Structure 1
Amino acid sequence: MADIQGSAHDTELDVVIATRDRPARKLDACLDALRQQTFPRFGVILVDDGGRDPLAPRIGTARPGRRPLPIRVVRNEESKGPGASRNQGVALSDAPYVLFIDDDCVSRPELVARHRAALTRAAGPAVSLGPILAPPRRRLPPWTHWDADRLGREYARLARGESTPAWTHCYTGNLAVRRADFLAVGGFDERLARQEDIELGFRLSRLGCRFSFDPAAVVWHDSDRTLRSWTRIAALSARFDVLIDQLVPDAHRLASVREGLGRRHWLLRLARRLCRPAVARRCAVAGAIAVGCLLHALHVDRPSLAAFSLVWDLEYTRALEEATGAPAPR
């Protein structure tokens, strides 16, 4: 373990970041934004999870005019996975509060202060959530635009009070907890390679944690996900929903998923019925991607987003049916 830019001990909050082969410019942007935080008494624990090159030698010093940032870097020679890496980071912390962000997220200067304030004023076990938004004035690829739009609309509902913060909103891109509560539930389930944050959120809710959402505790997510990886994530999400349902039956994950699928737009549900044959589904997915990309290039955004909703729905429900042996709601 290497300590860089000063000691990270005696802090009130530690920011835990798991990283693996993230381009230097993105990780540097993430750390530079943390150097600009208005709250001074925090540290950063950076877990290098089996990256090709050790991170410690290339973590830069603070730019002129910015205070040094206490960073501890720990390296795994072989990847342990995101959940295990974050657990490892929390184990190194002795701060009362822990904030998780992703290594491609850029935080607003008040992020740490607002999460700390939410946790310190809570009367009991608490979780503080903030929005993960698309970078301002950036034209994202259409598939990551779809991700950002979906999240943005849910965050808007939370900000207006139309939706209640809950364990289903727990994303490690912007999530703060009391370290004692995190340890009390056993941390992240290291068997899960996806949705380990949502599953952790359920166990925190079972502990009695109250969830709060602060629309001003913002990080901007500059995703570089490819189209191929995005389409794979839909299927992976379905398989991990099934796994979570098996590992934590009282979460009733599949029942909630099926209820949500049954409430989706009638055109999506019609498409599921029409695309039951594998060849029809493959043609529909390929066609929707092509149309969605073209419409996005022409700045016709709402139909483009609808096309990618169709792609996600068909890929997700296909994997769900394969994993469960039961048809998706139609």
Structure 2
Amino acid sequence: MDLTLASLAAQSYPGHLMEVVVVDDGSEPALVLPPIRPENTRLVTAPAHGWGPGHAVQAGVEATEAPVVMRLDADMVADREHVEAHLRWHHLADYLAVTGRVVFTDAPDTGLTATGMRDRVEDGSAADFLGPGNTMEWVSEVLESTDGLRTAGHRAWEVFTGATASVRRELFESAGGMDPAMAMGEDSELGYRLSQRGAVFVPEPVAVGWHLGCPTTERRGAAAVRFGRPFKENRIPRQGSRRDSPRRTWQVPFVDVVVDTVGRRFDDVSETVDALLGGDTADIRVRLVGEWGRVTPGRHGTVDDPAVDVRLVHENYRCEPRVEFVESEPAPDPDVPFRLMVSPGSLSRPGAVRALTGAADREGAGLVLLRSAGRGRGEALRLERTAAFARARHLGAGAGERDALVAQLWGLHLMDRDEVLIAHGESGERPPKDWHKKMLKAERNEERWRMEAERWERRIRALTGGRLSRLLLAVRRG
């Protein structure tokens, strides 16, 4: 902490515009501010009801009202222009998530006093003393392969690391702040939620910071991944390991499905909803919009009840944990990657959700529609990327303008109806696109095993003088 504060005391960014909050998260002995520190530095104690980095950062943010929130690990040394490089971006736009360039030194003990570190940072010689160090290889590979995240699309959040990161306070708060329940991986989880609110991620190479020593996630990689996996998977539908276990229900679903049942027949609604629930993408949440106030207790009609279809739909799905009943179209859940609008009577294929979301990610699209589909109730399926529409709303687009802006910023992708929907009279299964290749492979295997069987028959006849061959032939004929 002492060297971190010393480096912050030597920043090119004006000291009177910067407030530094140091959070003591149960340190023993308790932290004491060193004499060399920025002019506006405060020490706060994290509330006793929690612990961990997420809990501490949240406590620090709540202790200040600064318009930009910047997190810096207590074992980081910031180069002279570090803070300035971050803040330049936040003067340009209010929906940016900026990360600095983290360099790992070999050992936490630099041999420098706080005074020496401040002087080194101030005269620009810190790099000469701390050395080139190492960066996280996987982060460097992502940045290089995506032209500095320009082509990263929906995966840009994955390199959001908390050692040096900054966002505008409004964006931080709209995302819900840090999750105090995350004892590890809290920065990645926040990055995901920021992306869902439409954030643009900016890697700033000028904002160099030296991490004194190797972090736990690097020193104990496998153990760190094992510990963080269930916490991340429950909260981040984009977590790669979670996509390998599709038959699960999670805290945050992968897709929100909205079905408007008002005035629709039970048969049409159930046919559509059952097809979705029985599809090969299990982590969905189905929200049924309906007149559920008509489902009243007490005496009522049966087959001639005016509300019979409403009652049947309610009874059919009231015990299904993935189904919710809502009175009006719900606002998009910002944590869920996709929202799928479905018209009752549209029977989807088992792989419909996977096909739609896969096309959206493959094409980088913010909106996926079916070809020749109309608008309103005539639109059988409509898939919206939550992050794309969140950014469009943030940029001030009204309801009638959002589709066009999303198409401009992210792209619009059209799919053929038979890729997603089952035509009348069809079965739910479709032959795979490579069916001919698979058939030829099966025929080759059949020929290979037939020749193998004949080879063994010849060998058996040679070994037994033909005595067992007649028995084998009899068994085969039988």
Distance 1:158 1:33 in 2: 31
| Per-residue deviation, 1:163 | 6.2
Structure 2 distance, partners of 1:257, 1:38, is 47
Match status 1:177 vs 2:167: yes
Q: Could you tell me which residue of structure 2 aligns to residue 127 of structure 1?
A: 97
Q: Is 1:44 matched with 2:27?
A: no
Q: Which one-letter code corresponds to 1:179 in the other structure?
A: R
1:230 aligned to 2:219?
A: yes
Deviation at 1:255, TM superposition (A): 4.8
Q: Is 2:177 the partner of 1:194?
A: no
Which of 209, 223, 230 is the aligned partner of 1:219?
209
Report the Cα offset of residue 134 of structure 1: 2.5
Matching of residue 104 in structure 1 with residue 94 in structure 2: no
1:246 aligns with 2:217: no
Residues 31, 253 of structure 1: alpha-carbon distance in 2 compared, 3 angstrom cutoff: same
Aligned residue identity for 2:36: T
Cα RMSD, aligned residues only: 3.0
Residue 53 (str. 1) matches residue 53 (str. 2): no
Distance 2:104 2:143 in 1: 12
Is the CA contact (8 Å cut-off) linking 2:143 and 2:149 kept in structure 1? Answer: no
Equivalent position SS for 1:130: strand
Larger Rg: 2
Deviation at 1:184, TM superposition (A): 1.1
Contact residue 134 and residue 220 of structure 1 kept, 8 A: yes
Inter-partner Cα distance in structure 1 for 2:148 and 2:46: 42
Corresponding residue to 2:198 among 188, 205, 208: 208
Answer 1 or 2: which has greater helix percent. 1
Indicate conservation of the 8 Å contact 1:100/1:175, yes or no: yes
Instruction: Name 1:71's counterpart in structure 2.
Output: 41
In structure 2, distance between residues paired with 1:240 and 1:211: 23
Relative distance call for 1:153 and 1:105 in structure 2 (3 A) is farther
Change (3 A) 1:163 1:32: farther
Instruction: State the alpha-carbon separation in 1 of the partners of residues 158 and 216 from structure 2.
Output: 25
Q: Looking at both structures, which has the greater relative contact order when contacts are Cα pairs under 8 Å and sequence separation is at least 6? A: 1
Answer yes or no: is the 8 Å Cα contact 1:241–1:253 preserved in 2. no
Query: What is the CA–CA distance in structure 2 between the aligned matches of 1:31 and 1:155, rounded to whole Å?
Result: 29
Asked if the contact 1:155–1:215 (Cα under 8 Å) also holds between the matched residues in 2, the reply is: no
1:257–1:94 distance in 2 versus 1, CA, 3 Å: farther
Q: Shift of residue 159 of structure 1?
A: 6.4
Residue 125 of structure 1 and its aligned partner are, at CA, apart by 1.6
Rounded to whole Å, the distance in 2 between the matches of 1:208 and 1:198 is 16
**What is the aligned partner in structure 2 of residue 90 from structure 1?**
61
Q: Residue 61 of structure 1: CA displacement?
A: 3.4
Give the % identical residues. Answer: 27
CA deviation vs aligned residue, 1:221-253 (integer Å, no higher than 9, x gap): 1125589x923x42232342332222343x344
Say whether the 8 Å CA contact 2:171–2:194 is kept in structure 1.
yes
The CA deviation at 1:37 is: 0.8
Conserved? CA contact 1:242–1:254, under 8 Å:
no
Q: In structure 2, what is the equivalent of residue 11 of structure 1? A: none
Aligned match of 1:323 = none
Mapped to 1, the partners of 2:199 and 2:227 lie a distance apart of 27
Change in Cα spacing, 1:37 to 1:155, as seen in structure 2 (3 Å) is farther
The secondary structure found in structure 1 opposite 2:2 is helix
User: Secondary structure of the equivalent of 1:215?
Assistant: strand
1:113 paired to 2:113:
no
Instruction: Indicate the residue corresponding to 2:324 in structure 1.
Output: none
Q: Does the CA contact (< 8 Å) of 1:132 and 1:151 recur in 2?
A: no
What amino acid is the match of 1:70?
Answer: N
CA distance in structure 1 between the aligned counterparts of 2:149 and 2:79, rounded to whole angstroms: 23
Distance in 2, Cα, partners of 1:112 & 1:243: 31
Compute the displacement of 1:161 (Å). Answer: 6.2
Aligned residue number for residue 261 of structure 1:
none
Decide whether aligned partners of structure 1 residues 157 and 71 sit closer, same or farther in structure 2, where only a CA change above 3 A counts. Answer: farther
Give distance in 2, aligned partners of 1:225 and 1:209: 27
Relative to structure 1, the CA distance from residue 159 to residue 47 in structure 2 (aligned partners, 3 Å threshold; closer, same or farther) is farther
Give the whole-Å Cα distance in 1 for the aligned partners of 2:90 and 2:234. 31
TM-score when normalising by structure 1:
0.58
Tell me the TM-score normalised to structure 2 length: 0.41
Q: Secondary structure at the match of 2:241?
A: helix
Query: In structure 2, what is the Cα distance between the partners aligned to 1:204 and 1:225?
Result: 24
Bigger mean CA deviation after superposition, 94-103 or 75-84: 75-84
Match of 2:457 in 1: none
Cα deviations across residues 253-308 of structure 1 (Å, max 9, x unaligned)?
Answer: 425689xxxxxxxxxxxxxxxxxxxxxxxxxxxxxxxxxxxxxxxxxxxxxxxxxx
Query: What is residue 452 of structure 2 aligned with on the other side?
Result: none
- In the alignment, the residues of structure 1 paired with residue 151 and residue 241 of structure 2 have an alpha-carbon distance, to the nearest angstrom, of 21
Which segments of 5 or more consecutive residues in structure 1 lack a partner in the other structure?
1-26, 63-67, 259-330
